[in-house]
Amino acid sequence: MREIVLDTETTGLDPDSGHRIVEIGAVELANHLPTGRTYHQYINPERGMPAEAYAVHGIGDEMLRDKPVFAAIAPAFLEFVGDAHLVIHNAAFDMAFLNAELTRAGHPPIPTERAIDTLALARSRFPGAQNSLDALCRRFGIDNSMRDLHGALLDARLLARVYLELIGGRQPGLVLDAAAADAPAARVGAEGAAWTPPPRPRPLPPRLTAAEARAHAEFIADFPETALWLKLGGG
C-alpha cells in the first residue's frame, strides 16, 4: 500500500479569495514505512506575499520570484502522487488549495475521498485535547525542535511520524489478525500513557508437584544458615 504524507504552505487561508500555494512537501510511505522518496517544490504564486503569511513560514516574494508557477510543476507533482492516498493534517485546507491550483492549470481535481485527515484521526483518539502538529509531536515524543517556522517538507516528515503513531505504531502490519490491529490504539490512554495489563482474576495454578516440593525441601535442608540461597528467599 502506497501513501503520500503531504503539506503545503500558502499565501493565505482561502483559495477562493485568490490565495495560492507557495510550497509543497511530500513523503512517500509503502506499507506504513518511509521509502526515502520525497517531493519538494517552491512555487511562484504570481501574487504578493501578505505579511501575516510571511510570519508563519518565512517565504517571501524575493525567494519565490524565480520559482516555477504551479502549472509548470503540476505534471511532476501528479506523477509523484500517482493514485496514492494523501495523508494530510487538516486535509480540507490543503485539498482545497491543491484542487484550486489543479483546476486552474487544466487538470482534474484529486477526489477528496483519497485524503486521510490526521487531524480527524487525532481528534477521535484524543477528544478535547490539543491536536496541532506541534502538540502531537510532544505527545508522541517526536523531536520538532527545528520547527521555528512552518516548512512543507519538514512538516510532512514530522507528520509521517505522527501518522504512524496515530495508527498504532511504526509497523502496524505485523499484527496477526484484525482484532489485534485495533489493539495498539486501545492500549494508549487519553494522555498517551502506556497500557499495562490488569491483574489476573484467578492466579495460575502451581506447576510444582507435591513430590517436587518435598524433594526441594530435603535438598536445601543441609544448607548452612549463611547460604546465599536462603538469603534470597529460595527456601
Catalytic sites, residue numbers: 150
Letter for the amino acid at 159? L
Residue with cell 502549472: 71
The three cell numbers of residue 88 are: 494530510
Please give, one letter per residue, the 3-state secondary structure of the chain.
Answer: CEEEEEEEEECCCCHHHCCCEEEEEEEEEECCEEEEEEEEEECCCCCCCCHHHHHHHCCCHHHHCCCCCHHHHHHHHHHHHCCCEEEECCHHHHHHHHHHHHHHCCCCCCCHHHEEEHHHHHHHHCCCCCCCHHHHHHHCCCCCCCCCCCCHHHHHHHHHHHHHHHCCCCCHHHCCCHHHHCHHHHCECCCCCECCCCCCCCCCCCCCCHHHHHHHHHHHCCCCCCCHHHHCCCC
